[in-house]
Amino acid sequence: MALKLITVLFVLPLLALNANAQQPVTYDVRKYGAKPGADISQALLDAWKEACNSTTPSKIFIPPGTWSLSQVKLLGTNKAPIELQIQGTLQASPDPSKLPNKEGEWITINYVNFLTISGGGVLDGQGQEAWKLNDCHKNKNCAKLPINLSLNFINNSIIQDVTTKDSKNFHVNCISSYNVTFLRFTVSAPGDSPNTDGIHVARSTNVRITDSIIKTGDDCVSMGDETKEVYIQNVTCGPGHGISIGSLGGYATEKDVTGIYVRNCTFIGTTNGVRVKTWPSAPATLTVSDLHFEDLIMDNASLPIVIDQEYCPHNLCNKERPSSIKISNVSIKNVRGTTSTAEAVWLVCSGLKPCENVEVGDIDLKYTGNQGPITTQCTNVKPKFVGKQNPPVCATTAKSA
Ligand SMILES: *[C@@H]1O[C@H](CO)[C@@H](O)[C@H](O)[C@H]1NC(C)=O
Ligand SMILES: *[C@@H]1O[C@H](CO)[C@@H](O)[C@H](O)[C@H]1NC(C)=O
Ligand SMILES: *[C@@H]1O[C@H](CO)[C@@H](O)[C@H](O)[C@H]1NC(C)=O
Ligand SMILES: *[C@@H]1O[C@H](CO)[C@@H](O)[C@H](O)[C@H]1NC(C)=O
Ligand SMILES: *[C@@H]1O[C@H](CO)[C@@H](O)[C@H](O)[C@H]1NC(C)=O
Ligand SMILES: *[C@@H]1O[C@H](CO)[C@@H](O)[C@H](O)[C@H]1NC(C)=O
Ligand SMILES: *[C@@H]1O[C@H](CO)[C@@H](O)[C@H](O)[C@H]1NC(C)=O
Ligand SMILES: CC(=O)N[C@H]1CO[C@H](CO)[C@@H](O)[C@@H]1O
């Protein structure tokens, strides 16, 4: 008996020590001077610097409540995993001119390996006032508005259970990153807010966007050049412009896009479902391949499926030469629901580089308007058909490739 007790007494502290080693060190922003109602940028930055220097896992804690944050740039590199746990609401100043560095983003996180952002909190960009200043659709020298959350050079990271609301510009940027997961991520902004893309991914590999809800004024998810292995699954988009690849081709240096998988997604009242857009007469010659759009539900989306190699919004480009971007290995399968535009499917490929190896299977779309029968438009593409198509895709307008 005595022996047993001694064993227990001896073993317990060892276990406790072991458990301690697993527990991250917590850096509570209040310990660094964060006070409700005051700008917490400096406190967050000070906590971040300590966390980055920690050789054991650390957690930066932002407690429940509303905290104002003017602007912050959190830079690695870090020595051990960092969790940024946001339980409260971080609020930007409604006035974009109050941003200390007007060229910068609102929250920037760069050069971090093993970052987790979690906590159920809200990033409130307070864009309502700033959107009125956005005239970029008609003014090339328009004022630049800050992106909500800009993640650059981030590896092996997870952003889960956070909401970004009313960003003044793109909600989230994920650039030059590797192995990043957005899980149960919520984006919320009105359908008429300009340029408020939900998540923009570029020059990144292995990005997952899962079980998320994205309501915004521009693209739900947009993907730029040099993007590889993106898995978008169980995402509900709308309002907004749907999921898009591109626009591509604007710069000669752009690199290939490959491996984009959009599965089990729902589009509610969006202007597009899935869309690939490339500029005509563009200098770039990259290839876009391995695009798989499957098990999609359209709920009154305007254009459920779009490949547009003559993309030219506001007619501000030269349509004389076709796009020199090659699109190949595309599958579009099991797309059903309703569309609010009669011309529901566009496969408009380049006359210079026709689309290759496009497979279309099981389409079932119903047009809810009264502008005639539902139709499709196909140029420079000869899809392989499997299963049923309603409407019959490319039945009337296909030109030979
Ligand atoms: C970083 O941590 C080391 C010990 O691990 C310490 O000596 C050093 O002062 C810390 N640097 C900063 C900037 O906190
Ligand atoms: C991220 O991964 C890339 C490629 O492996 C590497 O070059 C870079 O240094 C990593 N960045 C960080 C912050 O760990
Ligand atoms: C990706 O990142 C997650 C989260 O940090 C990590 O658990 C996983 O091992 C990483 N996967 C790869 C292939 O590096
Ligand atoms: C899809 O995502 C929604 C929203 O996050 C979630 O409630 C639902 O459980 C997910 N569905 C599956 C099959 O995981
Ligand atoms: C996709 O959705 C179907 C039904 O809508 C569901 O049965 C299936 O589990 C989902 N798959 C994934 C991977 O979410
Ligand atoms: C469908 O979308 C169109 C155009 O966006 C809109 O005018 C119409 O009211 C919507 N219908 C339903 C049933 O939501
Ligand atoms: C397209 O798929 C074919 C057959 O699976 C493969 O041989 C080819 O390399 C792929 N092309 C591209 C550009 O990925
Ligand atoms: C409006 C704004 O600040 N946009 C910037 C967001 O971040 C990306 C990448 O860091 C910049 O290219 C944008 O200009």
Using CB distances shorter than 6 Å, the residues near ligand 2 are 76-77, 111-113, 153, 155, 178
pLDDT the model gives residue 129: 60
pLDDT the model gives residue 11: 44
Q: How far is the CA of 13 from the centre of ligand 1 (A)?
A: 28
Reference 291, options 325, 267, 323; nearest CA is 325
Reference 298, options 260, 331, 340; nearest CA is 340
Ligand 1: residue whose CA is nearest its atom 3: 53
Q: How many CA atoms lie within 13 A of 232 on its CB side?
A: 33
Residue partners of 279: CB distance under 8 A and separation at least 6: 247, 248, 249, 250, 311, 312, 317, 323
- 2-135+142-390 adopts what CATH topology? Pectate Lyase C-like (2.160.20)
> Model confidence over 91-122: pLDDT tens digits?
888 777 777 887 778 899 999 999 999 998 88
Residue partners of 206: CB distance under 8 A and separation at least 6: 178, 179, 180, 228, 229
Q: How far is the CA of 211 from the centre of ligand 7 (A)?
A: 30
Q: Token digits for 93?
A: 């100043």
> Model confidence over 219-235: pLDDT tens digits?
899 999 999 999 999 99
Looking at ligand 3, which atom is closest to the CA of residue 158?
4
Reference 305, options 275, 269, 348, 337; nearest CA is 275
Residue carrying the six token digits 């650039």: 175
Q: In the chain, what are the domain boundaries?
A: 2-135+142-390
Ligand 4: residue whose CA is nearest its atom 10: 211
Q: Which residues are catalytic?
A: 241
List per-block mean pLDDT (blocks of 10 residues) for the chain, which spans 401 residues.
46 44 87 92 97 96 93 95 94 80 86 94 70 58 67 95 70 92 88 76 97 90 97 96 93 95 97 94 90 98 95 81 95 97 94 96 94 93 95 70 36
Residue spans of beta strands (DSSP E) within 7-106: 25-28, 58-62, 66-68, 72-75, 82-86, 89-91
